[in-house]
């Protein structure tokens, strides 16, 4: 694995001035360790039936592409140009105004000019022009056109796996050109010739075959959750049994499998369990549809739908009334923008979500029948259905990281903030140009949160971390709350590198900390520990 | 490199017209054939491009939300930045098309020591909006050559534009604005290394063609005068399909050639953004995909996936061991 | 075609907009401006082509020379001295604003401000008739414009 530079070295190495040499002459890219993910293993590709399974490395001279790779890619491109208006339009209308140039976190952190969204798209656009338009064929470089070569495939692989599909650029684009769409198409094309990454495709394989990214079989899921329930007992004294595959339950709860077993995601998972127990909710988890997340989204539209389809299938089998989805970024992009169209309509047994506690009908989800757990909880708080003691989170000074997908794919800003403001006393937002629709990616989104990609992750995460540093220095922030499982996996590493004294949590971890159970009120068993089994009030502990 | 190419091209245009009209006297070619052909190319080309895009479906609702969604009743939603229905989409598009809303958001990132700073940076917005509105006003003003009697609004527009009564004929404000805006848009491509790096010849060419168009127009109005009555007789002849090339200075033919070149170039270049922006699926759709079912594209096939029953068969032992229910329906169905 | 309900009206709107000059003139005869040329005079102060192109600049120069520099005599390209005066020189031959100036100015929608101060011949004739009163009112209601 590549050696990671120290933070100050990394900052010094950032230079946004592009080289003198024209980018069209500057292929193949200088492929550097720490800036690419390992290729998908041969057996993984074989198992999911993807083309050209083989052993290779991006550092090799010969990538062992199929001999007719040119035809494959060009045909694939034509096919997608006839299927996705977004792709065709975005290939045609960019004026290279440069508004997006300094909006990409990977560009800000690396200074690599091909990480400017405009140029990232141009890598594909130039081939579209050069191979498929008469202007490009006739005027060549003058029209920004190139011919497809093996070097271009390498360049695509390098840069379409240095884009986290965060869509920040598309907020600023005067035509709404969305690099995420371009990257998605770039990756789909790369799959056709067998250039893809293991970190994405192994979870996809696991999802197809077993039911979740990590490949946890059903009995293990139950075991893991039972462990969490023991921890919950430790903290709250409550004996909770989580229902699995329960037919006739009112609600199916789906959440990313990352939160089943890894810190700090497990605390968020515990938070859900405690909250649902508090409400005495008739809910169930599924060990079949055990994945809310969807690495298929980072693979292809087809893979995304294939993974997502299980949720409706399971909701139908179990006969639930509606679905609640946990805190997760890309999962919610899928649920909000793709689920209904790609895998719907929702099964007939599902109804417009209606909170059994408050009676609120979630009209905005009347077709998908799926709501975000934060929508559910914010509604509970607004109706005064939760007794909360925000002082239990007093040791935390909290800020909130808007995850890319809920922000720019849903418009999900106020719900989590509303919750945070009710469950903790110290909440400070980061500077306005780094939050909400202008939020920065954690640097590891879209299936890039792998160790071998660490340098690029730290570079891409720099803008986010820098904004955290700002509120840490100004307000003493020590807790970064988020609503995304990839964030919970990636941000601790990022904070460790850039802002070591800031921890990461999910919103529902803080909810569970603040939630006051009746038996706690009577003094039977007052809460002294938080979800992490650390003292709620450290100073008092020391004094005692 | 791209800028040089564009400059040479535009100068070549001038020479071609100068030789063609001034020396060879090909007034009908440059005055009638080329403008008509260019207009046809523009009209048919643009319609073709729009139909070409429309033939491709929009399979998914990939709205880019820049504001609060509609969810709980008591959360204030952003109608313009996360439109929930078509009416709100129309409002969003009006802001986008007429006010360049997204460009107005522009920020400029700076790395100061160890800190990233994002300052508001509206210059690009200002340059773009000045350029587009000036160009649009100039186009509308030119309707005085294509209408008789000239409608009152066009006359008023003309008088407002020449409000300051500088020189005679009066200097138009839009002429000054468009020159300034063009210069800004050109210089920023040269001055910012990032922009220089991304700029192609096809980014400079339209700028230079419009430069040529504007400068030839200004020269014609203020310096190399032509008989404007004859010009109007000609333009009215064009729209009545009875054209007769006018006996006026070459400068007029240069001006006419630039607009013809621009029209012909339009449908095959990045300039199609003019109509393309209306098609942008991140802006022109409502963010209501959980409330309303949107049918998938005709080509979309629901995926095949491992059904519960298949899965249960595979993991039956583990399910039983760990005390998870076995769905008997799987067997009844068989 | 997809979204035909939105795209087709859009295309129609586009086509209507860019072809506006064609259809808005459809069926209307193209008028040819025919200013009344004085019969008794053969030559203007400069050549006819020059006057058609540059009369506005010439008049502007005259205005400056007279008002600001107190010069009254213009020497034309043939060396003849000319009295720089719109009302007394130009209008001597072009005796009708309506039939001469206005014909082309209306045609190309030019709005010269000569007549903000100067009195066109038709109006001057009116001073001697019964219409004096109404014309005085009209004249006084006009905003006096300065020579810039």
pLDDT in tens, A75-85: 999 999 999 99
pLDDT digits (tens, 9 = 90+) for C54-71: 999 999 999 999 999 999
CA distance B170 to B175: 11
| Same-domain status, C147 and C113 | yes
- Mean pLDDT confidence for A263-287: 96
| Same-domain status, B268 and B324 | no
Please report which confidence band the pLDDT of residue C88 belongs to, taking 50, 70 and 90 as the band edges.
confident
pLDDT digits (tens, 9 = 90+) for B5-63: 999 999 999 999 999 999 999 999 999 999 999 999 999 999 999 999 999 999 999 99
Domain encompassing residue C56:
42-84
Window 95-124 of B: residues touching C by CB (8 A cutoff) are none
- Mean pLDDT confidence for A383-406: 96
Stretch (H or E) spanning A198: helix A198-209
The C-alpha of B167 sits at a distance from chain C's nearest C-alpha, in angstroms, of: 8
| Helix, strand, coil percentages in chain C from 3-state DSSP, rounded to 5 | 55, 5, 40
Question: Can you give the pLDDT at residue C132?
Answer: 53
Q: Say what the ipTM of the complex is.
A: 0.95
Closest residue of chain B to A19, computed from CA coordinates: B197
Using CA atoms, how far residue A195 sits from A8, A41, A42, A159, in Å, is 34, 11, 11, 12
Residue C144 has pLDDT above 50, yes or no: no
Domain encompassing residue B71:
2-302
Reference A332, options A272, A269, A259, A406; nearest CA is A406
Both tokens assigned to A19: 């080289």
Domain ranges in chain A are: 7-203, 211-544
Question: Can you give the pLDDT at residue C42?
Answer: 83
| Same-domain status, C76 and C99 | no
- Mean pLDDT confidence for B170-192: 96
Residue C92 has pLDDT above 90, yes or no: no
Q: What is the DSSP letter of A383?
A: T
Please give the tally of structural domains in chain B. Answer: 2
| Same-domain status, B274 and B326 | no
Question: Can you give the pLDDT at residue C143?
Answer: 47
- Mean pLDDT confidence for A324-342: 96
| Same-domain status, B236 and B248 | yes
Question: Can you give the pLDDT at residue A9?
Answer: 94
- Mean pLDDT confidence for A55-68: 95
- Mean pLDDT confidence for A336-358: 95
Question: Can you give the pLDDT at residue A542?
Answer: 55
| Same-domain status, B29 and B134 | yes
Mutate to test the interface with B, among A100, A338, A411 (most CBs of B within 10 A): A411
Closest residue of chain B to A371, computed from CA coordinates: B290
Question: Can you give the pLDDT at residue C129?
Answer: 57
| Interchain pair B237, C30: CB under 8 A | yes
Please report which confidence band the pLDDT of residue C130 belongs to, taking 50, 70 and 90 as the band edges.
low
Mutate to test the interface with C, among B227, B251, B272, B286 (most CBs of C within 10 A): B227
- Mean pLDDT confidence for A368-389: 97
Mean pLDDT over each residue of chain A, to the nearest integer: 95
Question: Can you give the pLDDT at residue C128?
Answer: 59
CA dihedral for B261, B267, B269, B272, sign (positive or negative): positive
- Mean pLDDT confidence for A127-140: 94
Mean pLDDT over each residue of chain B, to the nearest integer: 95
Concatenated DSSP letters of B66-124 = -SPPS-STTSPP-TTTS--SHHHHHHHHHHHHHH-HHHHT-EEEEEETTEEEEEE--HH
Residue A504 has pLDDT above 60, yes or no: yes
| Same-domain status, B80 and B207 | yes
Please report which confidence band the pLDDT of residue A242 belongs to, taking 50, 70 and 90 as the band edges.
very high
Last residue of a domain, one of C55, C84, C113: C84
| Same-domain status, C102 and C135 | yes
Q: Judging by beta carbons within 10 Å of its beta carbon (0-12, 13-18, 19+), is residue C146 exposed, middle or buried?
A: exposed
Question: Can you give the pLDDT at residue C137?
Answer: 54
- Mean pLDDT confidence for B108-131: 95
Question: Which residues in chain A touch residue B273, judged by CB atoms under 8 angstroms apart?
Answer: 93-95, 175
| Interchain pair B239, C106: CB under 8 A | no
| Same-domain status, B266 and B240 | yes
| Interchain pair B237, C110: CB under 8 A | no
Question: Can you give the pLDDT at residue C145?
Answer: 47
Question: Can you give the pLDDT at residue A26?
Answer: 74
- Phi and psi angles of residue C140, each rounded to the nearest 5 degrees, phi first: -75, -25
| Same-domain status, C118 and C144 | yes
| Same-domain status, C58 and C102 | no
| Interchain pair B50, C11: CB under 8 A | yes
End-to-end CA distance of chain C: 59
Question: For the ranges A27-36, A98-107, A255-264, A501-510, which has the lowest average pLDDT?
Answer: A27-36
Comparing CB atoms, the residue among B96, B194, B203 nearest residue A18 is: B194
| Same-domain status, B70 and B207 | yes
Query: Do the Cβ atoms of A303 and A204 come closer than 8 Å?
Result: yes
Please give the tally of structural domains in chain C. Answer: 2
Residue A24 has pLDDT above 60, yes or no: yes
Question: Can you give the pLDDT at residue C146?
Answer: 47
Query: In 10 A of CB A452, how many CB atoms?
Result: 18
| Same-domain status, B139 and B50 | yes
Mean pLDDT over each residue of chain C, to the nearest integer: 84
Residues of chain B with pLDDT > 70, as a percent, come to 99
- Mean pLDDT confidence for A227-253: 96
> Within a domain: residue C56?
yes
A204: alpha, beta or left, given left = phi > 0 and alpha = psi -120 to 50?
alpha
Residue C115 has pLDDT above 90, yes or no: no
pLDDT digits (tens, 9 = 90+) for A278-332: 999 999 999 999 999 999 999 999 999 999 999 999 999 999 999 999 999 999 9
Residues of chain A with pLDDT > 70, as a percent, come to 99
């Amino acid at each position: 694995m590549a050696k990671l530079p120290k933070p100050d070295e990394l900052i010094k190495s950032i230079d946004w001035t592009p080289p003198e040499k024209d980018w069209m002459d500057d292929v193949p890219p200088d492929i550097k360790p720490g800036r690419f993910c390992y290729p998908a293993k041969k057996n993984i590709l074989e198992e999911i039936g993807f083309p050209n399974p083989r052993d290779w490395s991006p550092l090799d001279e010969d990538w062992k592409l199929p001999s007719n790779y040119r035809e494959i890619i060009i045909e694939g491109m034509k096919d997608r140009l006839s299927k996705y208006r977004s792709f065709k339009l975005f290939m045609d209308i960019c004026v290279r105004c440069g508004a997006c140039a300094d909006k990409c976190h990977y560009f800000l952190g690396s200074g690599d000019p091909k990480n400017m969204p405009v140029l990232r798209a141009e890598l594909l656009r130039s081939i579209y022009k050069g191979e498929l338009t008469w202007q490009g064929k006739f005027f060549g470089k003058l029209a920004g056109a190139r011919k497809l070569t093996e070097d271009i495939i390498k360049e695509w692989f390098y840069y379409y796996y240095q884009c986290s599909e965060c869509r920040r650029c598309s907020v600023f684009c005067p035509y709404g050109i969305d690099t995420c769409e371009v990257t998605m198409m770039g990756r789909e094309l790369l799959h056709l010739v067998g250039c893809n990454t293991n970190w994405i495709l192994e979870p996809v394989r696991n999802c197809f075959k077993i039911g979740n990214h990590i490949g946890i079989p059903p009995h293990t899921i139950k075991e893991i959750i039972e462990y969490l329930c023991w921890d919950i007992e430790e903290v709250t004294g409550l004996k909770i049994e989580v229902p699995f595959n329960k037919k006739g339950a009112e609600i199916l709860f789906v959440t990313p499998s990352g939160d089943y077993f890894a810190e700090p995601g497990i605390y968020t998972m515990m938070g859900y369990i405690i909250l649902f127990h508090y409400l005495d909710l008739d809910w169930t988890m599924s060990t079949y549809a055990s994945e809310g997340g969807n690495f298929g989204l980072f693979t292809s539209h087809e893979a995304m739908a294939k993974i997502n389809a299980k949720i409706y299938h399971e909701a139908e089998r179990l006969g639930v009334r509606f679905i609640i989805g946990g805190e997760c970024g890309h999962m919610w992009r899928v649920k909000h923008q793709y689920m209904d169209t790609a895998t719907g309509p929702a099964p007939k047994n599902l109804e417009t979500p209606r909170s059994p506690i408050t009676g609120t009908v979630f009209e905005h989800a009347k077709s998908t029948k799926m709501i975000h757990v934060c929508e559910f909880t914010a509604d509970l708080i607004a109706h005064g259905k939760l007794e909360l003691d925000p002082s239990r989170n007093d040791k935390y000074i909290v800020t909130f990281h808007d995850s890319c997908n809920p922000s720019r794919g849903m418009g999900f800003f106020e719900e989590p903030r509303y919750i945070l403001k009710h469950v903790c006393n110290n909440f400070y937002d980061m500077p306005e140009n780094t939050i909400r629709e202008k939020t920065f990616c954690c640097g590891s989104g879209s299936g890039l949160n792998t160790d071998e990609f660490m340098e690029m992750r730290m570079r891409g995460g720099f803008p986010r971390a820098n904004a955290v540093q700002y509120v840490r220095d100004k307000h003493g922030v020590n807790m970064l709350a988020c609503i995304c499982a990839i964030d919970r996996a990636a941000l601790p590493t990022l904070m460790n590198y850039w802002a070591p004294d800031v921890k990461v949590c999910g919103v529902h971890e803080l909810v569970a900390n603040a939630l006051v159970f009746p038996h706690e009120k009577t003094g039977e068993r007052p809460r002294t520990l938080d979800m992490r089994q650390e003292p709620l009030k450290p100073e008092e502990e020391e004094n005692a | 490199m791209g800028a040089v190419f564009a400059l040479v091209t535009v100068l070549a245009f001038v020479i071609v017209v100068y030789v063609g009209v001034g020396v060879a006297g090909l007034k009908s070619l440059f005055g009638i054939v080329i403008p008509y052909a260019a207009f046809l190319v523009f009209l048919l080309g643009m319609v073709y491009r729009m139909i070409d895009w429309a033939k491709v479906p929009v399979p998914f609702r990939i709205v880019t939300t820049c504001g609060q969604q509609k969810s709980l009743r008591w959360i204030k939603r952003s109608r313009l930045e996360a439109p929930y229905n078509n009416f709100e989409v129309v409002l969003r598009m009006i802001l986008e098309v007429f006010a360049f809303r997204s460009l107005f958001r522009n920020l400029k990132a700076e790395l100061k020591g160890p800190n990233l700073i994002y300052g508001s940076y509206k210059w690009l917005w200002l340059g773009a909006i000045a350029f587009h509105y000036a160009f649009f006003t100039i186009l509308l003003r030119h309707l005085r050559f294509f209408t008789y009697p000239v409608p009152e609004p066009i006359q008023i527009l003309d008088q407002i534009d020449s409000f300051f009564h500088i020189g005679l004929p009066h200097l138009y404000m839009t002429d000054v604005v468009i020159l300034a805006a063009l210069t800004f848009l050109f210089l920023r491509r040269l001055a910012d290394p990032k922009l220089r790096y991304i700029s192609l010849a096809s980014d400079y060419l339209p700028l230079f063609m419009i430069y040529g168009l504007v400068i030839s127009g200004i020269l014609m109005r203020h310096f190399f005068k032509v008989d404007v009555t004859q010009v109007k007789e000609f333009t009215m002849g064009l729209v009545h399909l009875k054209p007769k090339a006018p006996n006026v200075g070459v400068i007029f033919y240069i001006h006419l050639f630039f607009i013809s070149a621009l029209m012909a170039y339009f449908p095959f270049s990045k300039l199609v953004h003019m109509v393309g922006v209306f098609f942008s699926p991140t802006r022109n759709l409502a963010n209501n995909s959980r409330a309303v079912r949107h049918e998938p594209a005709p080509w979309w096939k629901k995926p095949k996936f491992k059904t519960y029953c298949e899965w249960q068969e595979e993991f039956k032992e583990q399910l039983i061991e760990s005390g998870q229910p076995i769905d008997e329906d799987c067997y009844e169905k068989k | 075609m997809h979204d035909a309900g939105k795209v087709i009206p859009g295309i129609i709107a586009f086509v209507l907009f860019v072809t506006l000059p064609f259809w808005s003139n459809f069926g209307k005869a193209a008028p040819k401006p025919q200013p009344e040329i004085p019969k008794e005079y053969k030559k203007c102060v400069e050549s006819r082509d020059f006057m058609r192109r540059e009369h506005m600049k010439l008049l502007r120069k005259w205005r400056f020379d007279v008002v600001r520099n107190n010069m009254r005599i213009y020497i034309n390209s043939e060396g003849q001295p000319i009295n720089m005066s719109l009302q007394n020189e130009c209008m001597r031959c072009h005796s009708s604003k309506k039939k001469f100036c206005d014909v082309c100015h209306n045609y190309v929608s030019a709005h010269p401000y000569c007549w903000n101060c100067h009195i066109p011949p038709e109006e001057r004739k009116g001073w001697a008739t019964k219409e004096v009163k109404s014309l005085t009112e009209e004249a006084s209601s006009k905003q006096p414009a300065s020579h810039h």
